[in-house]
C-alpha cells in the first residue's frame, strides 16, 4: 500500500509541475485542456443519468441527495441522486462553455 501511495504522489508531483510549466508558457493550452476535461465530465454524467434512468443503477435510484449537495446547488429537500447528477452536469457544462472559452480567447489576460 505504501508503494502505491508513493507512485501516486510522484505522478501528482509530475503532473502538477508539468501543468505549472505549461501554464507559464501558454495559459491558453492549459485552459483548453481543462475544457476538454470538463467536456468528458459532461459526457460521463450524461451516461450516469442514462444508466440511472435505464435502471442499471438501482441503488442510486432510491438514494437521496446528500445535504451538502442540496445546500450547494440549492436543491429541494426531497432531491434525489439524479437531481445531483443533473446539477453537477449543468455546472460542468457551464464551465466548459463559458469560463474556459473566455480564458482561451484571452479576454481576462
Q: Is residue 37 part of a domain?
A: yes
Is residue 20 in some structural domain? no
The DSSP secondary-structure symbol of 56 reads: S
Q: Return the pLDDT at 96.
A: 74
Q: Residue 87 domain-assigned? A: yes
Torsion angle of C-alpha atoms 86, 87, 88, 93, degrees rounded to 10 = 90
9 lies in a domain? no
In a domain, 79, yes or no: yes
DSSP 65: P
Cα separation, 66 vs 97, in Å, equals: 27
pLDDT digits (tens, 9 = 90+) for 11-43: 999 999 999 999 999 888 888 888 889 889 999
Residues 6+ apart with CB under 8 A from 20: none
- Asked if residue 77 is part of any domain, the answer here is yes
For 75, the domain range is 27-104
- Whole-angstrom Cα distance, residue 33 to residue 18? 13
Does residue 47 sit within a domain?
yes
Determine, yes or no, domain membership for 6.
Answer: no
Q: What is the pLDDT of residues 69-90, one digit of tens each?
A: 999 999 999 999 999 999 999 9
Task: Report the number of distinct structural domains present in the chain.
Answer: 1
pTM of the model: 0.78
Instruction: Report which secondary-structure segment, H or E, holds 31.
Output: helix 27-53
Amino acid at each position: 500500500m505504501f508503494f502505491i501511495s508513493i507512485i501516486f504522489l510522484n505522478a501528482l508531483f509530475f503532473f502538477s509541475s508539468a501543468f505549472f510549466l505549461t501554464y507559464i508558457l501558454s495559459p491558453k493550452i492549459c485552459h483548453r485542456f481543462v475544457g476538454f476535461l470538463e467536456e468528458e465530465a459532461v459526457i460521463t454524467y450524461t451516461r450516469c443519468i442514462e444508466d440511472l434512468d435505464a435502471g442499471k443503477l438501482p441503488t442510486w435510484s432510491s438514494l437521496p441527495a446528500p445535504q451538502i449537495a442540496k445546500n450547494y446547488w440549492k436543491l429541494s429537500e426531497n432531491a434525489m441522486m439524479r437531481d445531483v447528477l443533473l446539477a453537477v452536469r449543468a455546472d460542468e457544462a457551464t464551465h466548459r462553455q463559458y469560463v474556459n472559452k473566455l480564458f482561451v480567447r484571452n479576454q481576462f489576460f
